[in-house]
Amino acid sequence: MMNPLLASMDVLIDYAAIKPEHIAPAIEQLLSAARAAVTAAADPALAATWDDIITPLDDASEPLWRAWSVVSHLNSVVDTPELRDVYNAMLAQITEFSTWVGLHVGLYTQYQRLHLSDEFKNWSPARKRVIELALRDFKLSGVELQGEARTRYAEISDQQSQVSQKFSENVLDATDAWSLVIEDSKRLDGVPEDVIASLKDADAERWTLNLKMPCYLPVMQYALDRELRQALYKAYATRASEQGAKEFDNSALVEQTLALRAEEAKLLGFAHFADLRLQTRMANSDLEVTDFLRQLAQRAKPFAERDLIELKAYAKTELGLSDLEPWDIAFASECLREARYAYSDDDVKQYFTEPRVLSGLFAVVQTLFNVELKTCEVNGWHPDVRAASVHNAKGETLGYLLIDLYARPGKRGGAWVDSERNRRKYQTTDQGNALAHPTEERNPLEQHTDDRHPLEQHTEVRHPLEQHTEVQTPVVYLTCNFARPQGERPALLTHDDVITLFHETGHALHALLSEVDEPGASAFAAVEWDAIELPSQFMENFCWEWSVLERLTSHVDTQEPLPRELYDRMTAARNFQSGMQTVRQVEFSLFDMLIHNRSQGLSIAEVLTQLDQVRDEIAVIRPPSWHRFPHSFSHLFAGGYGAGYYSYKWAEVLSADAFAAFEEAAARAANDAHIAGQTLEGTGALDANTGERFKREVLAVGGVRPAADSFKAFRGRAPQIDALLRHSGMSDTETPAAA
């Protein structure tokens, strides 16, 4: 039987058929082919053309990276000892290959030749962008290093990949290893019934609690038992640290990571790791980032202080908690919110059944972007997996979305999107050369103007009888960790879950609605990291639109939609404790930047001291001294966000300003209807014309141009922070006293 990881690029992977023993043979075979392609492409005798150098590289590298993406995904969602062992063995080979390519002087020279060639000026913007970014990345990959520095750089790359993987494994293992058996049901008083049911042992009157979000969060929000909340809080806060099992302690790995990153930056001629990372970001320097964060903190902290004063007063008066501890915060906050706005998260959750939310989400995407998502069958990696194909107005398939929503053992926590394969356009011929690119022909008198859309600036002339265009469609993973269905009832999502689902869908659409023909200029490959959150955070805003929530909601028992009066209470509470939430994110972001703008690594004690110093400056809530937040901060030490966590707040400025364009369109439509004496059937911010512009100028172009240019093309100007402050209830017209 054929190895499923070696399937042709034009067919969908049979995930259910993949076994650990398939991985090493497939990856080794594909690595060999890719290595041979690099060697061939580096031949200086080749003509400096796209077809002679880049096309063969893409043909060989795409199957490799598709297979490795599949293996990496499986390692994150169905981790087993067998899979982990072979993944780690292959990770070393993958890292060695990537480092070898980045240090390949011969290949670097070929890209330089392409950039200087006569052909370059006639290429599409996507192809130009691929070459320009590759030249930048070669330099950042150490290609100009010599001698011992070159050797050491390769060693650092290998060590960093191994340390990152081990950090992630320790967090997963420490999370999965902890449990607490409850035999007295009264200890669970206050916890929603569906959560209690999900924790009950099948054959006994006992309940097993864990640190997965579907258990941890509702216990922290609702459990009346303070000692129970404290137990879970401490277990969660000390995961993968010296306070737990020694084999899961990430202390040394944090130190190794920071030391290796600092050494890498020094080898490449940068002052520190943050300086290195910011070469590929919108932000120009660590000072620009820290100034941005501190200005945001300065604006938010008075609101955060007000939030905490109110919470402490309520907790003391109404809950008898004169000494509000960190494990009381979520509980007291939920009680205050219920008292102030007369609803609970659990009340709202009854209206968000998973089938209704998904169908409503698909409808929103169709309205905004004129594409249809249709459920389809796939052989997934777990029975939880479902899929949807994406189609344009002509019925053409644009891509596939593979959805895995539920938490389970062996699955990494959190929510994320990744891609199995990218969109790619290629030419087929009657001779069956499926990936042959013909030479581009251009009218020498053709003029290009800067005001043309980057995806329309190039026309290729080909003989219609010899060649035709084929499009490889993207395949995208959307992964969450929601509570699974109980019994015959559908899964129920909190409103925060719904926001998370919309957020991740925004990421997915960035790949699925791409019109970029070259994988090297795709969104996930080329968009600056501090702009990659724009589509995802943008989509979150629609979760607060009445016209959207009408489509998303159906009570699990009565099938009634969300009542308007409950929606009104939700929107009134939208900015509840937004000050505290904002300074928390700024705290994480500033901590990240300050541990990475050093010329050398830090000890774990110094890391914790730096965190304390940031909290002195930014925070309004101080965790206990035994809290070990960095030890499980996978975004920084295993998820690619090192010196980049600020991206969430940076991109939130972009996303809020982008959504303001939809609000403005809705306001214009309402005003026009009022002038005409008509009653407008409200679609709120679901404006299809503005959605089409957002798709065209942001989603479709991926990384063909800098993100700042794409934003300006959509908005007509540079981004402004006003919309973010307004959406967060912290605009200039509001003060903490009046808010």
CA distances from 269 to 96, 153, 275, 595 (A): 22, 12, 10, 19
Cβ neighbours around 318 below 10 Å, total: 12
Contact 518, 424 (CB under 8 A): yes
CA distances from 448 to 551, 658, 704 (A): 44, 28, 16
HSE (side-chain half, CA atoms, 13 Å) at 363: 15
Contact 161, 96 (CB under 8 A): no
The CA-based angle 109-523-632, given to 5 degrees, is 100
Catalytic, 504? Answer yes
Q: What are the tokens at 363?
A: 């409808």
Q: Can you tell me the distance from the alpha carbon of 332 to that of 623, in angstroms, rounded to the nearest whole number? A: 16
| Residue 40: exposure state from Cβ atoms within 10 A (0-12, 13-18, ≥19) | middle
Per DSSP, what are the bridge partners of residue 192? Answer: none
The CA-based angle 35-41-42, given to 5 degrees, is 95
- Bridge-based pairing of strands 475-482 and 397-406 is parallel
Tell me how far the alpha carbon of residue 547 is from its chain's centroid. 26
Per DSSP, what are the bridge partners of residue 476? Answer: 401, 419
Residues 6+ apart with CB under 8 A from 44: 106, 109, 110
Amino acid at 261: R
For tokens 């043979």, name the residue: 25
What are the backbone angles phi and psi of residue 241, rounded to the nearest 5°? Answer: -125, 180
Contact 401, 478 (CB under 8 A): yes
- Annotated active-site residue in 264, 504, 587, 652: 504
CA distances from 702 to 40, 56, 87, 532 (A): 29, 23, 30, 10
The alpha helices in 119-202, defined as continuous H runs, are 125-140, 147-177, 193-199
**Residues carrying an active site annotation:** 504
